[in-house]
């Protein structure tokens, strides 16, 4: 059998394979360059980029527990001007085959469009991922993705500022993730990413204080996988745009779960923080899996889930 094709098409872009590094695990690429072959991956999603420099939350910012990890990094980042001047040129110069998605955050809905407008004439990246799972400071902390009006403003402002594809990253705690995916697509999104972390609290019993400096945090890791796979299947039924599946992925089988549920691309977060070589290994294992099953194109598996009647 000839080599199986792992390639995926999504939002007009070609990815050599479906495996991405999730936002927050690859910084802006450079830090991982000596550790793994970034260009062997389908792509990387950068750490969040905001209008202003964000120093992030008090330490500890991450905490391991039996079910995975909890973090409250606070979307620390150097701000859009520094990312544009210092990080995007490196990505433009260094990555030839892996696609780059830039993850964008804001304090208020209008910030997203402003960040996109500032970045958009820079080379070195293919698409944006809008992190609307973060709280809207003007609305008193309600996340953008939970409010149809705010979500529409975020996406339509970003849409007006770029022709590049826009992926919108939603939270698993929404009452109806499919409905919010529809709102995002109607406002101009080209794709949906599901899921972000789930809010949680780990307590340091000796101190009777939260284990994290910030207090609560976002839970990630293996337990998120079935939640992310269900969100993917729900979004698949609600909209036709491509989906990036994220949450608890650590193996080729985990990627396959997301593909069958309807994702075209799958991002690895916590597992790659623990071992940056995991995503590369997953790409090799996907190739092996296809060969062993006689699958000639991985894309044929996307959305093949059959729900019980
Ligand atoms: C340390 C850390 C930092 C993260 N930073 C971001 C971020 O900047 N923007 C974003 O949209 N998601 C961020 N995430 C969420 C991940 O991209 C991903 O959605 C989530 O962790 C679930 O995937 P996982 O179980 O594979 O980690 C972060 C996650 C972790 C663990």
Span from the CA of 75 to the centroid of ligand 1 (angstroms)? 10
Of the candidates 179, 182, 178, 125, the residue with the CA atom closest to the CA atom of residue 155: 182
pLDDT digits (tens, 9 = 90+) for 40-61: 999 999 999 999 999 999 999 9
Q: Which atom of ligand 1 is nearest to the CA of 246?
A: 23
For a mutational test of ligand 1's pocket, the pick from 19, 20, 21, 24, i.e. the residue with the most ligand atoms closer than 8 A to its C-beta, is: 24
Residue nearest to atom 19 of ligand 1 (CA): 196
Cβ proximity of 265 and 20 under 8 Å: yes
Span from the CA of 279 to the centroid of ligand 1 (angstroms)? 15
Q: What are the residue ranges spanned by the domains of the chain?
A: 8-53+77-200+220-301
Q: How far apart are the first and last CA of the chain?
A: 36
Cα distances (Å, whole numbers) of residue 239 to 133, 161, 200:
19, 23, 29
Pocket around ligand 1 at a 6 A CB cut-off: 22-24, 47-48, 62, 69, 71, 73, 75, 103, 131, 169, 196-197, 220-221, 224, 246-249, 268-271
- For 174-207, the DSSP string reads -S-HHHHHHHHHHTT-SEEEE---EEE--EETTT
Identify any residues that bridge with 146 across adjacent strands, giving them in sequence order.
none
Helix or strand or coil: residue 146? helix
Phi first, then psi: give them for residue 287, nearest 5 degrees: -60, -45
Residue 140 pLDDT: 75
pLDDT digits (tens, 9 = 90+) for 199-233: 999 999 999 999 999 999 999 999 999 999 999 99
Distance CA 182, CA 209 (A): 40
Consecutive H or E run containing 115: helix 109-119
Identify any residues that bridge with 5 across adjacent strands, giving them in sequence order.
297
Span from the CA of 292 to the centroid of ligand 1 (angstroms)? 32
Domain 8-53+77-200+220-301, classified CATH 3.40.50.300, yes or no: no
Q: What is the chain's pLDDT, residue by residue, as a tens digit (309 residues)?
A: 689 999 999 999 999 999 999 999 889 999 888 889 999 999 999 999 999 999 999 999 999 999 999 999 888 999 999 999 999 999 999 999 999 999 999 999 999 999 999 999 999 899 999 999 987 778 777 899 999 999 999 999 999 999 999 999 999 999 999 999 999 999 999 999 999 999 999 999 999 999 999 999 999 999 999 999 999 999 999 999 999 999 999 999 999 999 999 999 999 999 999 999 999 999 999 999 999 999 999 999 999 999 888
Residue nearest to atom 5 of ligand 1 (CA): 24
Residue nearest to atom 23 of ligand 1 (CA): 247
């Amino acid at each position: 059998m000839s080599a199986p094709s792992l390639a995926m098409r999504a939002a007009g872009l070609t990815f050599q394979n479906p495996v991405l590094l999730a936002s927050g695990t690859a910084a802006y690429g450079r830090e991982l360059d000596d550790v793994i072959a970034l260009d062997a991956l389908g792509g990387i999603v950068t750490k969040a980029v905001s209008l202003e420099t964000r120093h992030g939350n008090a330490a500890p910012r991450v905490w391991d527990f039996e079910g995975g990890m909890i973090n409250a990094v606070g979307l620390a980042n150097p701000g859009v001007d520094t990312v544009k001047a210092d990080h995007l040129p490196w990505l433009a110069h260094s990555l030839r085959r892996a696609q780059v998605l830039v993850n964008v955050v804001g304090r208020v809905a209008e910030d997203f469009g402003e960040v996109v407008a500032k970045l958009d004439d820079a080379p070195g990246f293919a698409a944006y991922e809008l992190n609307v799972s973060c709280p809207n400071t003007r609305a008193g902390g309600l996340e953008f993705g939970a409010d149809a009006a705010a979500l529409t403003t975020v996406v339509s402002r970003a849409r007006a500022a770029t022709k590049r594809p826009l992926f919108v990253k939603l939270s698993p705690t929404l009452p109806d993730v499919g409905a919010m995916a529809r709102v995002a697509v109607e406002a101009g999104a080209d794709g949906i990413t599901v899921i972000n972390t789930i809010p949680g609290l780990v307590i340091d019993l000796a101190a009777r204080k939260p284990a994290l400096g910030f207090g609560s945090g976002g839970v990630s890791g293996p337990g998120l996988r079935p939640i992310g796979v269900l969100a993917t299947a729900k979004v698949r039924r609600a909209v036709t745009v491509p989906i990036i599946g994220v949450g608890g992925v650590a193996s080729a089988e985990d990627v396959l779960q997301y593909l069958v549920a309807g994702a075209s691309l799958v991002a690895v977060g916590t597992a790659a923080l623990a071992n940056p070589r995991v995503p590369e290994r997953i790409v090799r294992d996907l190739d092996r899996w296809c060969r062993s099953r006689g699958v000639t194109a991985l894309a044929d598996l996307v959305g093949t889930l059959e729900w019980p009647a």
